[in-house]
């Protein structure tokens, strides 16, 4: 699907993308699970060159935020510190972009890594090592996605039930605030009460809820998006009452959501995608306001349903009724504030 770029001068900070090579993981699964896993991740590998091609495909992407994804861990550091390898790898990519050799945009200008917060206070050592690995390191994501139906996630994405409520996790979570670090929360729509409880327990900790809270339309949830919408909406509005929580507007093109219900690269235009996502995006913006909401690509995972140019066109259609200042917040300003990237928006 090829479209003319809407509002091509509007600055964008893409606050959520990955870089990875998951081919060994994907190939470890027999058919048909192999195809299912590849569909969930969007692409078994996603390189700097591919990121550059996507971010420079017409929209005015001035910078990006790398999101942890288990890429290029350094096994030589041992189990607790192996995640430092990912931040070191991405810092090299960011340095390439900062050279200016590839244009004016700044890929991976902020890096969100991973530390196992179930280490309790011991997670502080890992956080310090991550910070030492890159001046661009701003925080972590520790996903908590879980469902009783094993077909929803599959083994690579399955986390312990109720992770965000565990005392050892929260002991580690407290280490973030001591260092002024951000936290990305990824879990599934039926679990939204867990992130609400976490946000209330740590009211001064900046938290961003990824992917609109991940509404589900896959496996045992197939055909139940409409049935579960009111539950999702009520939880989103309650979470938004926590002023320390921001929301990422995206992730809806993932296979988990089935919005669209076919992929990858379903070939739908931005008008059709915008209509499909409108109830979720509008609810989130109404609840959080533009100053606590940011559009995200979630690439390459959202490649399932949309090419990069069409994805951002859909977001621009959804924001067409917003004021200029609200658009600046939704597409760049909120991400810049949350991840400390204000300098990218300074002439």
Distance CA 88, CA 111 (A): 10
Cβ(333)–Cβ(344) under 8 Å? no
Which residue in this structure is represented by tokens 């971010």?
Answer: 55
Output the pLDDT for position 48.
93
- Residue 4 counted as domain residue: no
CA distances from residue 235 to 61, 165, 167, 323 in whole angstroms, order as listed: 31, 17, 23, 27
Higher pLDDT among residues 266 and 305, named by residue: 305
Query: Of residues 104 and 189, which shows the higher confidence score?
Result: 189
Q: Which of 155, 153, 154, 220 is nearest to 188 (CA)?
A: 153
Structural domain contains residue 6: no
- Percent of the chain at pLDDT above 70? 98
pLDDT higher than 90, residue 102: no
Q: What is the pLDDT of residue 29?
A: 76
Q: Domain for residue 5, yes or no?
A: no
Domain assignment present for 3: no
Backbone φ and ψ for 62, nearest 5 degrees, come out as -95, -15
SS3 261: coil
Residue 317 lies in a domain: yes
Instruction: Report the number of distinct structural domains present in the chain.
Output: 1
8 A C-beta contact, residue 322 and residue 276: no
> Which secondary structure element, helix H or strand E, spans residue 153, and what is its range?
helix 150-153
Look at residue 1 and tell me if it is in a domain. Answer: no
CATH classification at residue 335:
3.20.20.140
d(CA 2, CA 308): 10
Q: Are strands 20-21 and 45-46 parallel, antiparallel or unpaired?
A: antiparallel
Q: Kindly give, in sequence order, each residue whose CB lies less than 8 Å from that of residue 234, ignoring residues fewer than 6 positions away.
A: none
pLDDT band at 1 (very low <50, low <70, confident <90, very high): low
- Whole-angstrom Cα distance, residue 80 to residue 59? 39
- Whether 108 shows a pLDDT value over 80: the answer reads yes
Task: Assess if residue 196 is contained within a domain.
Answer: yes
Confidence bin at 154 (pLDDT 50/70/90): confident
Residue 194, pLDDT score: 98
> Strands, DSSP E only, in the chain?
11-17, 20-21, 45-46, 60-67, 106-113, 137-141, 182-185, 207-209, 245-249, 293-295
DSSP-derived secondary structure letter, 299: B
Q: pLDDT per residue over 235-277, tens digit each?
A: 999 999 999 999 999 999 998 999 998 766 668 999 999 999 9
> Residue 241 and residue 196: Cα distance in Å, rounded?
9
Cα separations (Å) of 61 from 194, 214, 308?
33, 24, 11
238 lies in some domain: yes
Helix, strand, coil % over all residues of the chain, rounded to 5: 50, 15, 35
Torsion of CA 302, 307, 311, 317, to 10 degrees: -150
Report whether 273 contacts 305 (CB < 8 A).
yes
pLDDT of residue 212: 98
pLDDT at site 131: 98
Whether the bond between 300 and the residue before it is cis, its omega within 30 degrees of 0, is yes
Please answer whether residues 270 and 319 qualify as being in contact, where contact means their C-beta atoms are separated by less than 8 angstroms: no
| pLDDT on residue 156 | 66
Whether the CB-CB separation of 47 and 292 falls below 8 Å is answered with no
Range of the domain at 332: 11-345
CA 266 to chain centre: 21
Q: What are the counts of helices (DSSP H) followed by strands (DSSP E) for the chain?
A: 13, 10
Residue 30 pLDDT more than 90?
no
pLDDT value for 32: 72
Residues 312-320, mean pLDDT to the nearest whole number: 98
In sign, the C-alpha dihedral spanning 247, 252, 255, 257 is positive
Please say if the pLDDT value at position 116 is more than 70: yes
Least confident segment among 49-58, 200-209, 263-272, 287-296: 263-272
């Amino acid at each position: 699907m090829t479209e003319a770029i809407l509002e091509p001068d509007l600055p964008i900070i893409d606050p959520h993308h990955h870089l990875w090579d998951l081919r060994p993981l994907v190939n470890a699964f027999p058919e048909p699970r192999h195809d299912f896993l590849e569909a969930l991740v969007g692409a078994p590998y996603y390189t700097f060159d591919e990121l550059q091609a996507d971010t420079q495909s017409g929209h005015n992407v001035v910078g990006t935020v790398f999101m942890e994804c288990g890429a290029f861990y350094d096994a030589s550091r041992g189990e607790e510190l192996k995640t430092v390898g990912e931040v070191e790898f991405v810092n090299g990519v960011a340095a390439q972009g900062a050279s200016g050799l590839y244009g004016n945009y700044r890929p991976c200008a902020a890096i969100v890594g991973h530390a196992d917060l179930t280490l309790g206070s011991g997670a502080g050592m890992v956080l310090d090592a991550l910070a030492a690995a890159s001046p661009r390191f701003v925080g972590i994501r520790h996903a908590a996605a879980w469902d009783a139906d094993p077909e929803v996630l599959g083994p690579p994405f399955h986390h312990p039930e109720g992770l965000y409520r565990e005392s050892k996790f929260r002991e580690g979570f407290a280490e973030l605030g001591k260092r002024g670090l951000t936290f990305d929360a990824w879990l599934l729509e039926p679990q939204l009460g867990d992130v609400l409880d976490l946000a209330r327990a740590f009211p001064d900790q900046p938290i961003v809820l990824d992917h609109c809270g991940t509404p589900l339309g896959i496996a045992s949830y197939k055909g139940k998006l409409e049935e579960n919408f009111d539950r999702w909406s009520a939880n989103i509005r309650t979470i938004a009452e926590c002023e320390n929580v921001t929301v990422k507007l995206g992730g809806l093109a993932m296979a988990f959501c089935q919005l669209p219900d076919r992929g990858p690269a379903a070939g739908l235009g931005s008008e059709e995608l915008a209509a499909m996502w409108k109830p979720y995006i509008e609810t989130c913006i109404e609840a959080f306001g533009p100053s606590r909401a940011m559009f995200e690509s979630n690439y390459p995972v959202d490649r399932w349903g949309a090419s990069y140019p069409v994805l951002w066109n859909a977001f621009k259609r959804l924001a067409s009724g917003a004021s200029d200042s609200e658009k600046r917040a939704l597409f760049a300003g909120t991400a810049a504030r949350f991840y400390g990237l204000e300098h990218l928006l300074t002439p």
